[in-house]
Amino acid sequence: MRHMWPIFTAAILWIGIWDVVTAGFRLLPLPYFPGPAAVLRSLISDRGLLFESTCHSLALLLSGYTLGVAAGLISGVCIGWSPSVRYWGMPVLKVIGPIPATAWIPLAMVISPSAFLSAAALVALAVWFPVTMLTASGVSNTRASYLDVARTLGAGRLYLIFRVAIPAALPNIFIGLFMGLGASFLTLVVAESVGVKSGLGWYVSWAQGWAEYGKVYAALIIMAAFFSSVMTLLFKARDRMLVWQKGIIKW
């Protein structure tokens, strides 16, 4: 707990400076830069809608992220393991993958039967590319000595894939998961602010439209806590699965 004191001290100082600059000397124009008291009032008065929006964003993020990770792992393992799949898959990946998921919003809104499904598909697309690329890289770069030893002991193809190649590729896979999570946050907020009528992204857009900037900053605080919590959970999962890397790689 003691190592957290500098962070708490910095947060208190930041809130104090924020209050002096906005509510005290009014150096920043209102209503665009409300003081911390106004933001706190918005957090309390609109807690019901904020909670509902957070739950919707969580459901959308989990749906899209899970789908994107599953698709990315499958396609990444196939591309990384099979030369024929790599031959046909890599050109498609290089063409479609770099396109930002948010660029597909107009098409997704037309094709998808619901706004939720279109937003989830966009989040999945944003996650799919980095997970696929890093998984394929990790699988294809599995040490040949690991595979040779397993073959010598009589291992079949499925054993080589699931018990040798994928475990060896886990560090790369987790890098892809973190990159995909960051991309999913951005896509989630943009998709909600454009097409979905609920969620934190929608809430920010709605509050900005009514010039309720206290509510905008309240939603941003919720977003920071929400995204930070999700990222922390992924860090803990990585620490648990890659415990053998401690002392070898500095995290």
- The residue ranking higher by pLDDT, 104 or 245, is 104
User: How remote is the C-alpha of 49 from its chain's centroid?
Assistant: 23
Q: What six digits make up the tokens of 114? A: 């619901």
Give percent above pLDDT 90 in the chain.
54
Q: Is the pLDDT score of 240 beyond 90?
A: no
The predicted-structure confidence for 31-79, as pLDDT tens digits, reads as follows 888 888 889 999 999 999 999 999 999 999 999 999 999 999 999 999 9
Q: Is the pLDDT score of 250 beyond 60?
A: no
Q: Is the pLDDT score of 24 beyond 80?
A: no
Secondary structure (H, E, C), the chain: CHHHHHHHHHHHHHHHHHHHHHHHCCCCCCCCCCCHHHHHHHHHHCHHHHHHHHHHHHHHHHHHHHHHHHHHHHHHHHHHHCHHHHHHHHHHHHHHCCCCHHHHHHHHHHHCCCHHHHHHHHHHHHHHHHHHHHHHHHHHCCCHHHHHHHHHCCCCHHHHHHHHHHHHHHHHHHHHHHHHHHHHHHHHHHHHHHCCCCCHHHHHHHHHHCCCHHHHHHHHHHHHHHHHHHHHHHHHHHHHHCHHHECCECC
Phi/psi at 249 (nearest 5 deg)? -120, 130
Q: Which residue has the tokens 């499925």?
A: 158
- The residue ranking higher by pLDDT, 5 or 229, is 229
Phi/psi at 139 (nearest 5 deg)? -70, -45
Residue 1 is predicted with a pLDDT of 63
| C-alpha span between 10 and 222 (Å, rounded) | 19
| C-alpha span between 33 and 28 (Å, rounded) | 6
Residue 229 is predicted with a pLDDT of 93
CATH topology of domain 46-245: MetI-like fold (1.10.3720)
Residue 241 is predicted with a pLDDT of 86
Residue 216 is predicted with a pLDDT of 93
Q: Is the pLDDT score of 248 beyond 60?
A: no
The predicted-structure confidence for 71-105, as pLDDT tens digits, reads as follows 999 999 999 999 999 999 999 998 988 899 989 98
DSSP β-bridge partners for residue 249: 246
Average pLDDT over residues 135-153: 90
Residue 249 is predicted with a pLDDT of 53
Residue 245 is predicted with a pLDDT of 66
Per-residue confidence at 155, pLDDT binned at 50, 70, 90? Answer: confident
Domain coordinates in residue numbering, the chain: 46-245
